[in-house]
């Protein structure tokens, strides 16, 4: 009796601390659009599977939040949706971090930074000596990053921006990045398990700001795409965030949650 009991305990323990390699661990590092509220960060997420750590966007405050989650030298790769400041502001400091960790002997390879090269952009600045390495992505070209198949879809935004779909062992996750309403995103996100969707505006602000969506539109997008779970992010600095959740819930039949720094989700758990 003792052997199977111990075996079960080990599996459950792995699940509780999120270190089961079959799981995807998603950590929110920040939830704000434009600039971070005090002590927080711009909208950003860390994806972890098979001990591969992929940072998704790197705006202001993200590096500070990342250091609370993993040793900075453990970061495996960064992917950028677009070049607005609230998605790239911390890259210079990230490059210095890689330099210092290299000098300390804790890291010996460049950090890959995946990003598009369309329009006015900072692509040429993403490579820094041999500490970070720019890798160009294209909307029509799926790539493999660590354990994930990664696909892209151009969004409706004021700068060229790519939504990203991550398909891992047990879970498909779509990150809309910044976008106005887009029928293309419905097809792109079809059947995904989780959608992380921008929610920059309240319902009564529809079409007030070009290139961003209301919480109700985020809910409608999730409903039409048939995803199971919606995580709202990229919040405005006014009003009551709880209303954003309620406005999405009015139109989406699945689960809606608000992003918040250091909030963790674990997906792909087949035994619970």
Binding site for Zn ion (CB under 5 A): 84, 178
Q: Name the residue nearer to Zn ion (CB basis): 84 or 165.
A: 84
Q: Shortest distance, CB of residue 84 to Zn ion, whole angstroms?
A: 3
CA distance 1 to 187: 50
Nearest Cα to Cα of residue 215 among 237, 227, 231, 229: 231
User: Residue 40 Cβ, how far from Zn ion at the closest point, in Å?
Assistant: 18
User: In the bound complex, what is the minimum distance in angstroms from residue 159's beta carbon to Zn ion?
Assistant: 6
Minimum gap (Å) between residue 170 Cβ and Zn ion: 31
Return the number of the residue (103 or 158) whose C-beta is nearest Zn ion.
Answer: 158
Query: Cβ of residue 104: shortest distance to Zn ion, in angstroms?
Result: 34
User: Would you say 178 or 261 has its CB closer to Zn ion?
Assistant: 178
Q: How far is CA 266 from CA 26, 49, 178, 195, 229, in A?
A: 6, 10, 24, 14, 12
Phi, psi of 52 (to 5 degrees): -105, 125
Smallest gap from Cβ 178 to Zn ion, in A, equals 4
129 alpha carbon, distance to own chain's centre: 26
For Zn ion, the closer of residues 32 and 131 by Cβ is 32
- CB-based contacts of 220, cutoff 8 Å, min separation 6: 251, 252
C-beta separation of 176 from 185 below 8 A: yes
* CA distances in angstroms from 132 to 91, 102, 116, 226, listed in the order given: 10, 11, 16, 37
User: Which of residues 139 and 264 has its CB atom nearest to Zn ion in the complex?
Assistant: 139
Nearer to Zn ion, 56 or 69 (CB): 56
């Amino acid at each position: 009796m003792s052997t199977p009991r111990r075996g079960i305990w080990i599996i459950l323990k792995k699940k509780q601390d999120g270190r089961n390699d079959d799981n995807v661990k998603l950590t929110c590092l920040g939830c704000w659009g434009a600039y971070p509220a005090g002590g927080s960060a711009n909208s950003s997420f860390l994806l972890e599977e098979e001990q591969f750590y992929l940072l998704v966007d790197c705006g202001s405050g993200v590096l500070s939040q990342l250091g609370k989650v993993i040793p900075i030298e453990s970061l495996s790769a960064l992917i950028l949706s677009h070049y607005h400041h609230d998605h790239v502001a911390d890259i210079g400091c990230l490059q210095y971090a890689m330099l210092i960790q290299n000098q300390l002997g804790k890291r010996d390879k460049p950090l890959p930074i995946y990003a598009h090269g369309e329009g006015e952009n900072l692509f040429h600045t993403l490579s820094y000596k041999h500490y970070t390495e720019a890798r160009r992505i294209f909307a029509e070209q799926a790539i493999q990053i660590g354990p994930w198949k990664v696909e892209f879809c151009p969004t409706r935004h004021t700068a060229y921006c790519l939504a990203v779909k991550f398909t891992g062992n047990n879970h498909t996750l779509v990150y809309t990045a910044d976008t106005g309403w887009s029928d293309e995103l419905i097809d792109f996100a079809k059947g995904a398990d989780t959608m992380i969707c921008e929610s920059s505006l309240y319902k009564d602000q529809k079409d007030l700001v070009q290139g961003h969506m209301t919480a109700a539109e985020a809910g409608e997008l999730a409903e039409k795409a048939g995803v199971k779970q919606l995580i709202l992010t990229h919040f405005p600095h006014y009003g009551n965030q709880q209303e954003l959740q309620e406005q999405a819930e009015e139109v989406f039949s699945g689960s809606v949650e608000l992003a918040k720094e250091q909030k963790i989700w674990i997906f792909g758990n087949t035994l619970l």
